[in-house]
Each structure stands twice: as C-alpha cells, then as structure tokens.
Amino acid sequence: MEIFYVLPDYCSQYPKPCMGGWGNRQLTVTPNGDVLPCPAAGALPLPRASVHEDSLARIWADSPVFRR
C-alpha cells in the first residue's frame, strides 16, 4: 500500500495544476455571498470579495483575491 500526502495549495508557492490555478477556471460563492477562488480558501486570510458589493464579472477580473 502506498499513501500519498498532497500539501494544500496554501502551503505551496503556487497552486497545483489540478485546479488549473486558483480562480483560473472556477470560483465559489458561499452562502453569505463571499466569492472564493477555491472551495477550501474560506479558511485562509485572503482579501474578501462579495457578490453583495460587486458583480461576479468585476470580482473575477479586478478583485485582489483573484488577481493574487
């Protein structure tokens, strides 16, 4: 038996290619309206973007969390 442990993206300098890079192909909108580049990114100290404050198009193209 082999056990593989994959470090989470936030422990690496760059996102893993399996995600295509955070926020490159998908995004997550949480129930409270936060927009995240990955479903697991909510626990990280990232800049916040919210659909209550901006459009998805503008968040995708211009928000600090997606430009990061």
pLDDT tens digits along 9-28: 677 776 666 666 777 778 88
What pLDDT score does 45 carry? 85
What pLDDT score does 68 carry? 72
Residue 5 CA from chain centroid, whole number: 21
Cβ 51 vs Cβ 29: under 8 Å: yes
pLDDT at 4 over 70: no
Distance CA 35, CA 3 (A): 33
Cβ 29 vs Cβ 53: under 8 Å: no
What pLDDT score does 11 carry? 75
pLDDT tens digits along 26-57: 888 999 999 998 877 877 888 889 999 999 99
**Is 59 or 65 the better-scoring residue by pLDDT?**
59
